Amino acid sequence: MILSIFYHLGRFVNLFRLMISKPEKFSMYWKETTRQMNDIGVGSLIIVGLIALFIGAVAAMQFAYQLEGTFVPLYYTGYVVRDMTIIELAPTITCLVLAGKVGSNIAAEIGGMRQKEQIDALEIMGVNTAAYLIAPKLIAALFVVPLLVAISAFISIMGGYLAVVPTGMITESEYVLGLRTFFVPYNVFMMFVKGFVFAFMLSAIPAYQGYYVKGGSIELGKASTNAVVFSDVAILLSDYVIALMLT
Amino acid sequence: MIRAVDIKKSFDDVEVLKGISTVFEKGKTNLIIGRSGAGKTVFLKLLVSLMSPTDGDIWYDDVNITTLNKRELIDLRKDIGMLFQGSALFDSMTVEENIRFPLDMFTKKTKKEKQDRVDEMIEVVNLEGSNNKYPGEISGGMQKRVGIARSIVLNPKYLFCDEPNSGLDPKTSLVIDELIQKITRENKITTIINTHDMNSVMEIGEKINLLHQGRLAWVGNKDEVLESDNELLQNFIFASPFLQRLRKRAMNNK
Protein backbone atom coordinates (compact mmCIF):
# COMPACT_ATOMS: atom_id res chain seq x y z
CA MET A 1 0.00 0.00 0.00
CA ILE A 2 2.69 2.51 1.08
CA LEU A 3 4.97 1.34 -1.74
CA SER A 4 2.12 1.81 -4.18
CA ILE A 5 1.55 5.39 -2.96
CA PHE A 6 5.24 6.20 -3.46
CA TYR A 7 5.20 4.51 -6.88
CA HIS A 8 2.29 6.65 -8.07
CA LEU A 9 3.70 9.78 -6.47
CA GLY A 10 7.03 9.24 -8.21
CA ARG A 11 5.38 8.60 -11.54
CA PHE A 12 3.14 11.63 -11.06
CA VAL A 13 6.16 13.87 -10.40
CA ASN A 14 8.01 12.36 -13.36
CA LEU A 15 5.05 13.03 -15.65
CA PHE A 16 5.08 16.67 -14.63
CA ARG A 17 8.81 16.85 -15.15
CA LEU A 18 8.25 15.60 -18.71
CA MET A 19 5.50 18.15 -19.14
CA ILE A 20 7.77 21.09 -18.51
CA SER A 21 9.46 21.63 -21.86
CA LYS A 22 9.52 24.11 -24.69
CA PRO A 23 6.39 23.65 -26.85
CA GLU A 24 7.00 22.31 -30.34
CA LYS A 25 4.85 25.16 -31.58
CA PHE A 26 3.40 27.74 -29.24
CA SER A 27 0.36 28.50 -31.42
CA MET A 28 -0.76 24.85 -31.32
CA TYR A 29 -0.53 24.79 -27.54
CA TRP A 30 -2.38 28.11 -27.27
CA LYS A 31 -5.14 26.82 -29.57
CA GLU A 32 -5.53 23.72 -27.41
CA THR A 33 -5.48 25.80 -24.20
CA THR A 34 -8.28 28.09 -25.42
CA ARG A 35 -10.30 25.05 -26.48
CA GLN A 36 -9.88 23.60 -23.00
CA MET A 37 -10.80 26.94 -21.39
CA ASN A 38 -14.01 26.88 -23.36
CA ASP A 39 -14.73 23.23 -22.48
CA ILE A 40 -13.96 23.62 -18.79
CA GLY A 41 -15.28 27.15 -18.28
CA VAL A 42 -18.22 27.70 -20.58
CA GLY A 43 -19.07 24.01 -20.53
CA SER A 44 -19.41 23.99 -16.75
CA LEU A 45 -21.12 27.34 -16.28
CA ILE A 46 -24.70 26.04 -16.19
CA ILE A 47 -24.11 23.22 -13.70
CA VAL A 48 -21.94 25.41 -11.46
CA GLY A 49 -24.50 28.22 -11.58
CA LEU A 50 -27.39 25.91 -10.83
CA ILE A 51 -25.69 24.29 -7.85
CA ALA A 52 -24.51 27.66 -6.48
CA LEU A 53 -27.99 29.14 -6.82
CA PHE A 54 -29.64 26.37 -4.81
CA ILE A 55 -26.88 26.16 -2.21
CA GLY A 56 -27.18 29.89 -1.53
CA ALA A 57 -30.98 29.72 -1.50
CA VAL A 58 -31.16 26.77 0.88
CA ALA A 59 -28.45 28.14 3.19
CA ALA A 60 -30.21 31.51 3.45
CA MET A 61 -33.63 29.97 3.99
CA GLN A 62 -32.40 27.51 6.64
CA PHE A 63 -30.49 30.18 8.50
CA ALA A 64 -33.33 32.72 8.42
CA TYR A 65 -35.61 29.96 9.73
CA GLN A 66 -33.17 29.16 12.56
CA LEU A 67 -33.02 32.82 13.57
CA GLU A 68 -36.77 33.19 13.93
CA GLY A 69 -37.69 33.80 17.55
CA THR A 70 -34.09 34.29 18.68
CA PHE A 71 -32.27 37.41 19.78
CA VAL A 72 -29.82 37.14 16.83
CA PRO A 73 -30.60 39.89 14.32
CA LEU A 74 -32.05 38.66 11.01
CA TYR A 75 -29.46 40.55 8.96
CA TYR A 76 -26.98 37.88 10.10
CA THR A 77 -28.51 35.75 7.34
CA GLY A 78 -26.74 37.80 4.65
CA TYR A 79 -23.51 37.79 6.64
CA VAL A 80 -23.52 34.02 7.16
CA VAL A 81 -24.48 33.22 3.57
CA ARG A 82 -21.73 35.52 2.27
CA ASP A 83 -18.92 34.15 4.42
CA MET A 84 -20.01 30.52 4.20
CA THR A 85 -20.13 30.85 0.44
CA ILE A 86 -16.87 32.70 -0.02
CA ILE A 87 -14.80 30.73 2.46
CA GLU A 88 -16.08 27.21 1.90
CA LEU A 89 -19.08 26.43 -0.26
CA ALA A 90 -18.13 28.22 -3.48
CA PRO A 91 -14.59 26.84 -3.82
CA THR A 92 -15.15 23.39 -2.33
CA ILE A 93 -18.56 22.42 -3.67
CA THR A 94 -17.83 23.94 -7.08
CA CYS A 95 -14.55 22.05 -7.34
CA LEU A 96 -16.03 18.78 -6.10
CA VAL A 97 -18.65 19.10 -8.83
CA LEU A 98 -15.99 20.03 -11.37
CA ALA A 99 -13.88 17.04 -10.32
CA GLY A 100 -16.84 14.89 -11.37
CA LYS A 101 -17.61 16.71 -14.58
CA VAL A 102 -14.24 17.97 -15.82
CA GLY A 103 -12.03 15.39 -14.08
CA SER A 104 -13.80 12.36 -15.47
CA ASN A 105 -13.82 14.01 -18.89
CA ILE A 106 -10.06 14.62 -18.81
CA ALA A 107 -9.31 11.06 -17.68
CA ALA A 108 -11.63 9.57 -20.31
CA GLU A 109 -10.30 11.79 -23.10
CA ILE A 110 -6.62 11.10 -22.45
CA GLY A 111 -7.26 7.44 -21.57
CA GLY A 112 -9.28 6.98 -24.76
CA MET A 113 -6.42 8.48 -26.76
CA ARG A 114 -4.02 6.06 -25.10
CA GLN A 115 -6.24 3.08 -25.94
CA LYS A 116 -6.76 4.14 -29.55
CA GLU A 117 -2.98 4.56 -29.99
CA GLN A 118 -3.43 8.28 -30.61
CA ILE A 119 -0.82 9.06 -27.95
CA ASP A 120 1.61 6.66 -29.66
CA ALA A 121 0.83 8.38 -32.96
CA LEU A 122 1.70 11.76 -31.44
CA GLU A 123 4.90 10.34 -29.92
CA ILE A 124 5.96 8.94 -33.28
CA MET A 125 5.39 12.35 -34.85
CA GLY A 126 7.81 13.77 -32.29
CA VAL A 127 5.26 15.50 -30.07
CA ASN A 128 5.93 15.65 -26.33
CA THR A 129 2.60 14.07 -25.39
CA ALA A 130 2.87 14.81 -21.68
CA ALA A 131 3.21 18.48 -22.51
CA TYR A 132 0.75 18.69 -25.40
CA LEU A 133 -2.03 16.68 -23.78
CA ILE A 134 -1.73 17.78 -20.16
CA ALA A 135 -0.27 21.30 -20.01
CA PRO A 136 -3.14 23.02 -21.90
CA LYS A 137 -5.71 21.31 -19.67
CA LEU A 138 -3.82 22.26 -16.54
CA ILE A 139 -3.28 25.88 -17.57
CA ALA A 140 -6.90 26.21 -18.68
CA ALA A 141 -8.14 24.80 -15.36
CA LEU A 142 -5.81 27.02 -13.30
CA PHE A 143 -7.13 30.04 -15.14
CA VAL A 144 -10.81 29.18 -15.47
CA VAL A 145 -11.68 27.34 -12.25
CA PRO A 146 -10.96 30.28 -9.88
CA LEU A 147 -13.19 32.39 -12.13
CA LEU A 148 -15.92 29.76 -11.91
CA VAL A 149 -15.52 29.77 -8.14
CA ALA A 150 -15.97 33.56 -8.07
CA ILE A 151 -19.05 33.31 -10.29
CA SER A 152 -20.35 30.54 -8.07
CA ALA A 153 -19.90 32.71 -4.95
CA PHE A 154 -21.76 35.59 -6.59
CA ILE A 155 -24.64 33.39 -7.77
CA SER A 156 -24.86 31.72 -4.39
CA ILE A 157 -25.24 35.05 -2.61
CA MET A 158 -27.85 36.06 -5.20
CA GLY A 159 -29.60 32.73 -4.62
CA GLY A 160 -29.76 33.50 -0.92
CA TYR A 161 -31.28 36.87 -1.69
CA LEU A 162 -33.91 35.36 -4.01
CA ALA A 163 -34.85 32.75 -1.43
CA VAL A 164 -35.41 35.01 1.57
CA VAL A 165 -36.19 38.54 0.31
CA PRO A 166 -39.04 38.03 -2.21
CA THR A 167 -40.61 35.47 0.12
CA GLY A 168 -40.67 38.01 2.95
CA MET A 169 -38.53 36.02 5.40
CA ILE A 170 -36.26 39.05 5.80
CA THR A 171 -36.22 42.45 4.16
CA GLU A 172 -33.90 43.50 1.36
CA SER A 173 -32.17 46.07 3.57
CA GLU A 174 -31.53 43.43 6.25
CA TYR A 175 -30.00 41.02 3.73
CA VAL A 176 -27.83 43.73 2.18
CA LEU A 177 -26.79 44.97 5.61
CA GLY A 178 -25.73 41.41 6.45
CA LEU A 179 -23.71 41.20 3.27
CA ARG A 180 -21.87 44.40 4.16
CA THR A 181 -21.28 43.57 7.81
CA PHE A 182 -17.93 42.21 9.09
CA PHE A 183 -16.61 41.88 5.55
CA VAL A 184 -13.00 40.64 5.50
CA PRO A 185 -11.39 40.97 2.03
CA TYR A 186 -8.81 38.34 3.05
CA ASN A 187 -11.58 35.73 2.74
CA VAL A 188 -11.84 36.49 -0.97
CA PHE A 189 -8.10 35.92 -1.28
CA MET A 190 -8.54 32.59 0.51
CA MET A 191 -11.34 31.67 -1.89
CA PHE A 192 -9.05 32.25 -4.87
CA VAL A 193 -6.20 30.30 -3.26
CA LYS A 194 -8.56 27.37 -2.76
CA GLY A 195 -9.87 27.70 -6.32
CA PHE A 196 -6.34 27.67 -7.69
CA VAL A 197 -5.18 24.68 -5.63
CA PHE A 198 -8.35 22.69 -6.31
CA ALA A 199 -8.05 23.48 -10.03
CA PHE A 200 -4.66 21.78 -10.02
CA MET A 201 -6.06 18.74 -8.20
CA LEU A 202 -9.06 18.28 -10.45
CA SER A 203 -7.04 18.54 -13.66
CA ALA A 204 -3.67 16.99 -12.79
CA ILE A 205 -4.94 13.84 -11.05
CA PRO A 206 -7.36 12.87 -13.85
CA ALA A 207 -4.70 13.65 -16.47
CA TYR A 208 -2.32 11.26 -14.67
CA GLN A 209 -5.00 8.58 -14.39
CA GLY A 210 -5.86 8.85 -18.09
CA TYR A 211 -2.28 9.07 -19.35
CA TYR A 212 -1.19 5.78 -17.80
CA VAL A 213 -4.36 3.79 -18.43
CA LYS A 214 -3.74 0.25 -19.70
CA GLY A 215 -6.18 -2.34 -20.99
CA GLY A 216 -9.71 -1.94 -22.28
CA SER A 217 -12.95 -0.19 -21.49
CA ILE A 218 -13.17 -1.61 -17.95
CA GLU A 219 -9.75 -0.13 -17.09
CA LEU A 220 -10.75 3.16 -18.69
CA GLY A 221 -13.91 3.21 -16.58
CA LYS A 222 -11.83 2.48 -13.47
CA ALA A 223 -9.36 5.23 -14.35
CA SER A 224 -12.22 7.66 -14.78
CA THR A 225 -13.74 6.67 -11.44
CA ASN A 226 -10.34 6.84 -9.71
CA ALA A 227 -9.79 10.26 -11.21
CA VAL A 228 -12.96 11.57 -9.59
CA VAL A 229 -12.49 9.78 -6.25
CA PHE A 230 -8.82 10.74 -5.84
CA SER A 231 -9.46 14.32 -6.96
CA ASP A 232 -12.30 14.63 -4.44
CA VAL A 233 -10.15 13.24 -1.63
CA ALA A 234 -7.26 15.52 -2.61
CA ILE A 235 -9.58 18.54 -2.72
CA LEU A 236 -10.97 17.80 0.74
CA LEU A 237 -7.52 17.18 2.21
CA SER A 238 -6.05 20.31 0.68
CA ASP A 239 -9.12 22.26 1.84
CA TYR A 240 -8.26 21.27 5.38
CA VAL A 241 -4.56 22.13 4.93
CA ILE A 242 -5.38 25.53 3.41
CA ALA A 243 -7.81 26.26 6.23
CA LEU A 244 -5.08 25.37 8.73
CA MET A 245 -2.48 27.50 6.98
CA LEU A 246 -4.51 30.54 6.08
CA THR A 247 -6.76 31.00 9.09
CA MET B 1 17.88 1.56 -44.46
CA ILE B 2 17.24 0.24 -40.97
CA ARG B 3 19.40 -2.42 -39.35
CA ALA B 4 18.47 -4.44 -36.29
CA VAL B 5 21.47 -6.06 -34.63
CA ASP B 6 20.95 -8.89 -32.15
CA ILE B 7 17.80 -7.38 -30.67
CA LYS B 8 16.61 -8.86 -27.41
CA LYS B 9 13.63 -7.81 -25.36
CA SER B 10 12.41 -9.20 -22.06
CA PHE B 11 9.42 -8.35 -19.91
CA ASP B 12 10.20 -9.40 -16.34
CA ASP B 13 11.39 -12.99 -16.78
CA VAL B 14 9.82 -13.55 -20.18
CA GLU B 15 12.15 -13.14 -23.14
CA VAL B 16 9.95 -12.07 -26.06
CA LEU B 17 12.70 -11.39 -28.61
CA LYS B 18 15.75 -13.63 -28.49
CA GLY B 19 18.35 -11.91 -30.65
CA ILE B 20 17.01 -10.72 -34.00
CA SER B 21 19.34 -9.37 -36.66
CA THR B 22 17.99 -8.21 -39.99
CA VAL B 23 18.13 -5.38 -42.51
CA PHE B 24 15.17 -3.39 -43.82
CA GLU B 25 16.04 -2.03 -47.20
CA LYS B 26 15.40 1.42 -48.60
CA GLY B 27 12.79 1.73 -51.37
CA LYS B 28 11.38 -1.69 -50.57
CA THR B 29 8.33 -2.94 -48.71
CA ASN B 30 9.85 -4.94 -45.87
CA LEU B 31 7.42 -7.26 -44.12
CA ILE B 32 7.49 -8.69 -40.63
CA ILE B 33 5.24 -11.72 -40.45
CA GLY B 34 4.56 -14.38 -37.89
CA ARG B 35 1.90 -16.00 -35.77
CA SER B 36 0.20 -14.15 -32.94
CA GLY B 37 2.60 -13.94 -30.01
CA ALA B 38 5.68 -14.29 -32.20
CA GLY B 39 6.91 -10.87 -31.10
CA LYS B 40 6.05 -8.83 -34.22
CA THR B 41 4.40 -5.91 -32.45
CA VAL B 42 7.15 -5.71 -29.82
CA PHE B 43 9.76 -5.77 -32.59
CA LEU B 44 7.95 -2.99 -34.47
CA LYS B 45 7.64 -0.89 -31.30
CA LEU B 46 11.37 -1.31 -30.71
CA LEU B 47 12.11 -0.29 -34.28
CA VAL B 48 10.09 2.93 -33.92
CA SER B 49 11.59 3.52 -30.48
CA LEU B 50 8.30 3.33 -28.60
CA MET B 51 10.18 0.78 -26.45
CA SER B 52 13.85 0.20 -25.70
CA PRO B 53 15.51 -3.17 -26.35
CA THR B 54 16.98 -5.10 -23.45
CA ASP B 55 20.01 -5.68 -25.63
CA GLY B 56 21.12 -4.99 -29.19
CA ASP B 57 21.30 -2.01 -31.54
CA ILE B 58 18.96 -0.44 -34.06
CA TRP B 59 20.56 1.64 -36.80
CA TYR B 60 18.70 4.18 -38.91
CA ASP B 61 21.27 4.55 -41.68
CA ASP B 62 24.28 5.75 -39.64
CA VAL B 63 22.46 6.54 -36.40
CA ASN B 64 22.20 4.05 -33.57
CA ILE B 65 18.84 5.01 -32.04
CA THR B 66 19.38 2.98 -28.88
CA THR B 67 22.00 5.52 -27.79
CA LEU B 68 19.94 8.65 -28.47
CA ASN B 69 18.57 10.80 -25.68
CA LYS B 70 14.93 11.92 -25.61
CA ARG B 71 15.59 15.21 -27.43
CA GLU B 72 17.54 13.45 -30.21
CA LEU B 73 14.82 10.82 -30.50
CA ILE B 74 12.16 13.50 -30.90
CA ASP B 75 14.23 15.04 -33.71
CA LEU B 76 14.67 11.66 -35.38
CA ARG B 77 10.97 10.94 -35.18
CA LYS B 78 10.27 13.79 -37.57
CA ASP B 79 11.68 11.44 -40.25
CA ILE B 80 9.29 8.66 -39.24
CA GLY B 81 5.73 8.08 -40.39
CA MET B 82 3.56 5.40 -38.90
CA LEU B 83 0.24 3.88 -39.82
CA PHE B 84 -1.41 2.29 -36.81
CA GLN B 85 -3.59 -0.80 -36.75
CA GLY B 86 -6.64 1.23 -35.71
CA SER B 87 -5.49 4.24 -37.78
CA ALA B 88 -5.18 6.33 -34.56
CA LEU B 89 -6.87 9.34 -36.13
CA PHE B 90 -7.82 12.21 -33.83
CA ASP B 91 -11.58 11.93 -33.35
CA SER B 92 -12.14 15.63 -32.78
CA MET B 93 -10.49 16.58 -36.07
CA THR B 94 -11.75 16.28 -39.63
CA VAL B 95 -9.90 14.30 -42.31
CA GLU B 96 -8.22 17.48 -43.49
CA GLU B 97 -7.26 18.58 -39.96
CA ASN B 98 -5.82 15.14 -39.20
CA ILE B 99 -3.60 15.28 -42.27
CA ARG B 100 -2.63 18.90 -41.58
CA PHE B 101 -1.75 18.27 -37.92
CA PRO B 102 1.98 17.40 -38.46
CA LEU B 103 2.31 20.41 -40.79
CA ASP B 104 0.75 22.71 -38.17
CA MET B 105 2.91 21.29 -35.41
CA PHE B 106 6.30 21.08 -37.09
CA THR B 107 6.49 23.40 -40.08
CA LYS B 108 6.47 27.12 -40.66
CA LYS B 109 4.63 26.84 -43.96
CA THR B 110 2.00 29.42 -44.85
CA LYS B 111 -1.66 28.54 -44.66
CA LYS B 112 -1.81 28.19 -48.44
CA GLU B 113 1.27 25.98 -48.61
CA LYS B 114 -0.20 23.71 -45.96
CA GLN B 115 -3.53 23.55 -47.74
CA ASP B 116 -1.80 22.70 -51.02
CA ARG B 117 0.13 19.89 -49.32
CA VAL B 118 -3.03 18.55 -47.68
CA ASP B 119 -4.88 18.62 -51.02
CA GLU B 120 -1.95 16.81 -52.62
CA MET B 121 -2.05 14.12 -49.94
CA ILE B 122 -5.81 13.74 -50.24
CA GLU B 123 -5.34 13.20 -53.97
CA VAL B 124 -2.54 10.65 -53.41
CA VAL B 125 -4.73 8.54 -51.14
CA ASN B 126 -7.78 9.14 -53.30
CA LEU B 127 -10.01 10.73 -50.68
CA GLU B 128 -11.33 13.73 -52.60
CA GLY B 129 -14.60 14.98 -51.17
CA SER B 130 -13.99 13.68 -47.67
CA ASN B 131 -12.00 16.68 -46.43
CA ASN B 132 -14.51 17.84 -43.85
CA LYS B 133 -15.70 14.47 -42.61
CA TYR B 134 -14.79 13.21 -39.15
CA PRO B 135 -13.11 9.80 -38.65
CA GLY B 136 -16.38 8.40 -37.27
CA GLU B 137 -18.15 9.29 -40.52
CA ILE B 138 -15.87 7.35 -42.89
CA SER B 139 -15.19 3.64 -43.45
CA GLY B 140 -12.28 1.66 -42.01
CA GLY B 141 -10.52 1.60 -45.37
CA MET B 142 -10.86 5.37 -45.72
CA GLN B 143 -9.55 5.82 -42.19
CA LYS B 144 -6.46 3.80 -43.13
CA ARG B 145 -5.95 6.02 -46.15
CA VAL B 146 -6.22 9.13 -43.98
CA GLY B 147 -3.69 7.49 -41.63
CA ILE B 148 -1.33 6.90 -44.56
CA ALA B 149 -1.75 10.49 -45.76
CA ARG B 150 -1.00 11.81 -42.27
CA SER B 151 2.03 9.57 -41.91
CA ILE B 152 3.64 10.71 -45.17
CA VAL B 153 2.65 14.38 -45.18
CA LEU B 154 6.08 15.43 -43.83
CA ASN B 155 7.93 13.28 -46.38
CA PRO B 156 9.33 10.75 -43.90
CA LYS B 157 12.40 8.66 -44.67
CA TYR B 158 10.97 5.68 -42.79
CA LEU B 159 7.39 4.41 -42.89
CA PHE B 160 6.03 1.85 -40.43
CA CYS B 161 2.67 0.14 -40.84
CA ASP B 162 1.18 -1.98 -38.08
CA GLU B 163 -1.34 -4.44 -39.52
CA PRO B 164 -2.50 -2.08 -42.29
CA ASN B 165 -5.06 -4.61 -43.56
CA SER B 166 -6.68 -5.65 -40.33
CA GLY B 167 -10.45 -5.40 -40.46
CA LEU B 168 -10.51 -4.66 -44.17
CA ASP B 169 -12.06 -6.70 -46.99
CA PRO B 170 -9.61 -8.27 -49.50
CA LYS B 171 -10.32 -5.68 -52.20
CA THR B 172 -9.72 -2.70 -49.89
CA SER B 173 -6.64 -4.46 -48.48
CA LEU B 174 -5.25 -4.64 -51.97
CA VAL B 175 -5.84 -0.92 -52.49
CA ILE B 176 -4.01 -0.12 -49.24
CA ASP B 177 -1.11 -2.47 -50.12
CA GLU B 178 -0.71 -0.95 -53.57
CA LEU B 179 -0.82 2.53 -52.11
CA ILE B 180 1.91 1.73 -49.57
CA GLN B 181 4.08 0.12 -52.24
CA LYS B 182 3.58 3.05 -54.61
CA ILE B 183 4.52 5.58 -51.91
CA THR B 184 7.56 3.49 -50.92
CA ARG B 185 8.88 3.30 -54.47
CA GLU B 186 8.10 6.87 -55.50
CA ASN B 187 9.59 8.43 -52.37
CA LYS B 188 12.38 5.85 -51.97
CA ILE B 189 11.59 5.36 -48.30
CA THR B 190 12.26 2.43 -46.02
CA THR B 191 8.90 0.82 -45.33
CA ILE B 192 8.34 -1.81 -42.67
CA ILE B 193 4.98 -3.56 -42.50
CA ASN B 194 3.85 -5.79 -39.68
CA THR B 195 1.19 -8.11 -41.05
CA HIS B 196 -0.40 -11.52 -41.06
CA ASP B 197 -2.31 -10.89 -44.23
CA MET B 198 -1.23 -13.57 -46.75
CA ASN B 199 -2.38 -11.49 -49.72
CA SER B 200 -0.02 -8.72 -48.62
CA VAL B 201 2.82 -11.20 -48.26
CA MET B 202 2.34 -12.48 -51.80
CA GLU B 203 1.60 -9.08 -53.35
CA ILE B 204 4.09 -6.64 -51.85
CA GLY B 205 6.56 -8.81 -49.92
CA GLU B 206 9.81 -7.52 -51.37
CA LYS B 207 11.61 -8.58 -48.24
CA ILE B 208 9.87 -10.86 -45.79
CA ASN B 209 11.04 -11.54 -42.23
CA LEU B 210 9.28 -14.45 -40.52
CA LEU B 211 9.37 -14.34 -36.74
CA HIS B 212 8.77 -17.45 -34.70
CA GLN B 213 8.89 -17.54 -30.91
CA GLY B 214 11.02 -14.42 -30.73
CA ARG B 215 13.55 -15.52 -33.34
CA LEU B 216 13.99 -14.79 -37.02
CA ALA B 217 12.92 -18.04 -38.70
CA TRP B 218 13.16 -17.12 -42.38
CA VAL B 219 14.09 -14.21 -44.64
CA GLY B 220 13.27 -13.96 -48.32
CA ASN B 221 10.97 -12.36 -50.86
CA LYS B 222 7.52 -13.24 -52.17
CA ASP B 223 8.94 -15.22 -55.10
CA GLU B 224 10.94 -17.41 -52.76
CA VAL B 225 7.98 -18.21 -50.52
CA LEU B 226 6.54 -20.95 -52.74
CA GLU B 227 9.86 -22.64 -53.28
CA SER B 228 11.11 -22.52 -49.73
CA ASP B 229 11.12 -25.77 -47.83
CA ASN B 230 11.19 -23.96 -44.49
CA GLU B 231 8.58 -25.83 -42.51
CA LEU B 232 7.72 -22.91 -40.25
CA LEU B 233 7.16 -20.66 -43.27
CA GLN B 234 5.02 -23.21 -45.07
CA ASN B 235 2.98 -23.90 -41.95
CA PHE B 236 2.40 -20.20 -41.50
CA ILE B 237 1.71 -19.13 -45.09
CA PHE B 238 -0.31 -22.17 -46.08
CA ALA B 239 -2.07 -22.69 -42.78
CA SER B 240 -5.49 -23.36 -44.28
CA PRO B 241 -6.23 -26.64 -46.13
CA PHE B 242 -7.52 -24.57 -49.06
CA LEU B 243 -4.18 -22.81 -49.48
CA GLN B 244 -2.32 -26.09 -49.02
CA ARG B 245 -4.29 -27.58 -51.94
CA LEU B 246 -3.56 -24.50 -54.06
CA ARG B 247 0.14 -24.75 -53.31
CA LYS B 248 0.19 -28.44 -54.15
CA ARG B 249 -1.51 -27.72 -57.45
CA ALA B 250 0.91 -24.89 -58.23
CA MET B 251 3.90 -27.09 -57.49
CA ASN B 252 2.49 -29.93 -59.63
CA ASN B 253 1.99 -27.57 -62.56
CA LYS B 254 5.64 -26.48 -62.48
pLDDT tens for each residue of B165-182: 887 788 878 888 888 888
Residues of B in contact with A118 (CB under 8 A): 88-90
Asked if residue A46 lies in contact with residue A108, where contact means CB atoms within 8 angstroms, the answer is no
The answer to whether residue B250 scores a pLDDT higher than 80 is no
Asked if residue B59 lies in contact with residue B65, where contact means CB atoms within 8 angstroms, the answer is yes
The terminus-to-terminus CA distance of chain B in angstroms comes to 36
- Residue A50 CA to residue A149 CA, distance in Å, equals 13
Give the closest-approach CA distance of B75 to chain A in angstroms. Answer: 7
Average of per-residue pLDDT values in chain A: 93
The answer to whether residue A209 scores a pLDDT higher than 90 is yes
| Least CB–CB distance from A117: residue in B80, B88, B102 | B88
Domain ranges for chain A, please list them: 26-246
Which CATH code fits B2-229?
3.40.50.300
Report yes or no: A245 at the B interface, CB cutoff 8 Å: no
At CB < 8 Å, which residues of chain B contact A? 48, 50, 74-78, 80-82, 84-86, 88-91, 101-102, 104-106, 160
Count residue pairs from A and B with Cβ separation < 8 A.
48
Residues of B in contact with A116 (CB under 8 A): 86, 88, 91
The answer to whether residue B39 scores a pLDDT higher than 70 is yes
Asked if residue B168 lies in contact with residue B141, where contact means CB atoms within 8 angstroms, the answer is yes
Give the closest-approach CA distance of B203 to chain A in angstroms. Answer: 27
pLDDT at B254: 65
pLDDT above 70 covers a percentage of chain A that reads 100
pLDDT at A233: 96
Contact B88 A128 (CB under 8 A): no
pLDDT above 90 covers a percentage of chain B that reads 42
The answer to whether residue A113 scores a pLDDT higher than 90 is yes
Nearest alpha-carbon partner for B29 in B197, B184, B220: B184
Report yes or no: A187 at the B interface, CB cutoff 8 Å: no
- Residue B118 CA to residue B95 CA, distance in Å, equals 10
> What part of A 126-185 touches B (C-beta under 8 Å)?
126-128
Q: A186-195, B111-120, B140-149: which has the minimum mean pLDDT? A: B140-149
Q: Model-level pTM?
A: 0.85
Collapsing DSSP to helix, strand or coil, B129 comes out as coil
Choose, out of B51, B69, B74, B80, the residue to mutate when testing the contact with A (most A CBs < 10 Å): B74
Domain ranges for chain B, please list them: 2-229
Nearest alpha-carbon partner for A49 in A11, A94, A88: A94
pLDDT tens for each residue of B60-90: 998 999 998 888 888 888 889 998 888 899 9
pLDDT at B3: 94
